[in-house]
Amino acid sequence: MARNTTVSASVDFERDGKQTGYLTIPHSPHEDAWGATRLPVCVIRNGSGPTAILMAGNHGDEYEGQIALGELIRGLEPERICGRLIILPTLNLPAVAAGRRTSPVDGLNLNRTFPGDPAGSISQQITAYVSEVIYPLGDVLVDLHSGGSSLDILPSAIVEPAPDAAHMRRNIAAVAAFGAPLTVVIGNLGEARTSTAAAVRAGLTTVGTEMAGQGTVSREALAICRRGVRNVLAHAGILPADAAPPAGPTGSGAVLEIPGPAGYVYATRDGIFEAAHGLGARVAAGERAGLIHDIHAPWRDPEPVFYGADGILFARRQPGRVTHGNCCAVVAAPYAGEL
């Protein structure tokens, strides 16, 4: 049962047809005594069947998913589906409006606030409503992410680890159905406060993505999102099988993972990061990942940073400027678990 919430929905989640509206959260900043934060929502329902929750805009500077879900809202009619779609194309609207990873209202990374707090800040109220009202309605979650402004990432569909073996197999099968060039298991070093980790705890078959980045829109990644969402809906039985678009570029079929802390390369000082490799390059533990150039004492030799694992370069820092602790590179290696 949901805890007390101030969020009100202008849509009826149980009604057939297509509805668009808002989730409204009272918000009283200096500029607006009785204002509200309003999150766009769409419900498309046709009879009984599975429910898929489709989300984007969890981080405001990740754009492909926002575009793909907006197109789906405009183009998909109820008679084409069997079941229900709950679509939240700009989940973290304050961050989306600002084009930022974090909310300008409370400074929080919404994807580190699950399961939220209905009496907390705006970000915490959003995630509490998703956790306690939206997730219990669902069978499948697709949460569309990309690298945002700070990373460039090989377009991938992401498996959220599940402790139950059967649930893990469901996640892997749905991610494979998405049809991205790469499938990568990402456990976020055990981070439990993400949307996908919370969805797994709720029992949902869970699909994530990481689609390019650089704070812009990748045409390739957008095409993968468009196909992938429909592929998952067909896999779930919500769309007919013939509604899945023709397959796009696919990878080798291998499943990769980020191999724990060794998969991340962090800046060891402030400066300018010069990467040693392009995305997709094969790299080795102990190999130089790049150089950090000193901006205050350019006569000093740049400081090298090194990979901690063998694999491929999965993600790379996008802005050249770094501070101590920034993520400069991420390595993905073959998945070591059972499939």
Of the candidates 182, 179, 158, 183, the one whose C-alpha atom is nearest the C-alpha of residue 228 is 179
Q: How many beta carbons lie within 10 A of that of residue 48, not counting itself?
A: 8
pLDDT band at residue 246 under the 50/70/90 scheme: low
Helix-strand-coil percent breakdown of the chain, rounded to 5?
A: 25, 30, 45
Average pLDDT over residues 121-146: 97
Amino acid at 335: Y
Predicted confidence at residue 252, as pLDDT, reads 52
Across the chain, mean pLDDT equals 94
Contact at 8 Å (CB) between 256 and 335? yes
Contact at 8 Å (CB) between 123 and 110? yes
Of the candidates 290, 299, 302, the one whose C-alpha atom is nearest the C-alpha of residue 328 is 290
The values of phi and psi at residue 200, to 5°, are -65, -45
Amino acid at 228: G
- Separation CA 161–CA 196 (nearest Å): 9
- Give 163's DSSP letter: S
Predicted confidence at residue 17, as pLDDT, reads 98
Q: Is the pLDDT of residue 245 over 70?
A: no
- Give per-residue pLDDT as tens, 256-300: 999 999 999 999 999 999 999 999 999 999 999 999 999 999 999
pLDDT band at residue 1 under the 50/70/90 scheme: very low
Predicted confidence at residue 202, as pLDDT, reads 98
Give the chain's domains with CATH numbers: 8-256 (3.40.630.10), 263-334 (2.40.50.100)
Predicted confidence at residue 339, as pLDDT, reads 72
Q: Is the pLDDT of residue 105 over 60?
A: yes
Percent pLDDT > 70 in the chain is 96
- Separation CA 123–CA 15 (nearest Å): 28
The values of phi and psi at residue 110, to 5°, are -55, -35
pLDDT band at residue 190 under the 50/70/90 scheme: confident
- Give per-residue pLDDT as tens, 12-71: 999 999 999 999 999 888 888 888 999 999 999 999 999 999 999 999 999 999 999 999
Q: Is the pLDDT of residue 249 over 50?
A: no
Strands 140-143 and 83-88: unpaired
- Give 135's DSSP letter: G
Q: Which two tokens stand for residue 243?
A: 């509604």
pLDDT band at residue 95 under the 50/70/90 scheme: very high
Q: Is the pLDDT of residue 244 over 80?
A: no
Q: Which residue has the higher pLDDT, 212 or 127?
A: 127
- Separation CA 339–CA 337 (nearest Å): 7
Average pLDDT over residues 317-321: 93
Average pLDDT over residues 235-245: 85
Predicted confidence at residue 247, as pLDDT, reads 55
- Give per-residue pLDDT as tens, 154-169: 999 999 999 999 999 9
pLDDT band at residue 4 under the 50/70/90 scheme: confident
Helix residue ranges, H only, 101-238: 122-129, 165-178, 195-201, 219-235
DSSP states of 54-90:
EE--SSTT--HHHHHHHHHHHH--GGG-SEEEEEETT
Contact at 8 Å (CB) between 20 and 42? yes
Please, what is the end-to-end C-alpha distance for the chain in angstroms?
34
Contact at 8 Å (CB) between 221 and 211? yes
Average pLDDT over residues 178-204: 95
Q: Is the pLDDT of residue 213 over 50?
A: yes
Q: How many beta carbons lie within 10 A of that of residue 112, not counting itself?
A: 15
Contact at 8 Å (CB) between 254 and 333? no
Q: How many CA atoms lie within 13 Å of 99's alpha carbon, on the beta-carbon side?
A: 6
Q: Is the pLDDT of residue 330 over 90?
A: yes
- Separation CA 326–CA 324 (nearest Å): 6
Strands 182-185 and 156-159: parallel
